[in-house]
Amino acid sequence: MQTRSAQTRQALIRAAAELIADGGPSDAGLVSICRRAGVSRGALYHHFSSTAQLMAAVYEQAHERVMELAEKAFDQRSADGPERFLTALTRALREEELLRAGIQLSADGSPGPPQLRDEVLTLVRRHVSKGHRETAPSPDDLADLAVVVAAGLESLGHTDPAWWEAGTNQRLWALLRPLFGAEAERIG
């Protein structure tokens, strides 16, 4: 069971994430966060020395969630790792405000680069490139394709959540799967 202090801290993180997910980092001001969390400014400053530190906590929790999704998707060497990861990521972006907020932030809590979304793209590229032999399509080409799909779905979903729907993911991966599967067959 969480202590009251831990509950307040988590309420502040959740409030900041909701405000960022609903509008953007500029919408997560001190007063708005406190109002949304139902706490005083003093409570915010008791847990975080600044709103930037609070935003960094949002980033940190979102980063942990992305790593959890990646670990699960890439837990075995197979061609469907990128598909499993990007499917899980788009589902999480659709359902989890914390992830939608955190993906817009950098490690220091600022909206500037490098953002978590940049780290996600690097992560996808690294996993797709790892273990592939130099064949056509090249591992870098496959990695770049997976990154473009990830970036496109993430970006487009902010204006039209249908891009984060499972059916959209399934349709796109039905087109892409043969490319990744053919590479895995050549390796295996």
Cα torsion 69, 71, 76, 80 to 10°: value is: 30
| CATH number, position 179 | 1.10.357.10
pTM beyond 0.85, yes or no? no
Q: DSSP assignment, residue 111?
A: S
pLDDT of residue 136: 58
51's tokens: 């709103």
| Cα separation, 99 vs 93, whole angstroms | 6
pLDDT of residue 133: 53
Domain that holds residue 134: 4-187
- Segment-wise mean pLDDT, segments of 10 residues, the chain, 188 residues: 89 97 90 96 95 96 95 80 88 94 93 87 80 63 84 85 88 85 50
pLDDT of residue 176: 85
Per-residue b/e over 113-149, b at no fewer than 16 CB within 10 Å? Answer: eebbbebbbebbbebbbeebeeeeeebeebbbbbbeb
Number of domains in the chain: 1
Query: Considering only CA atoms, which of 89, 27, 91, 38 is closest in space to residue 63?
Result: 89
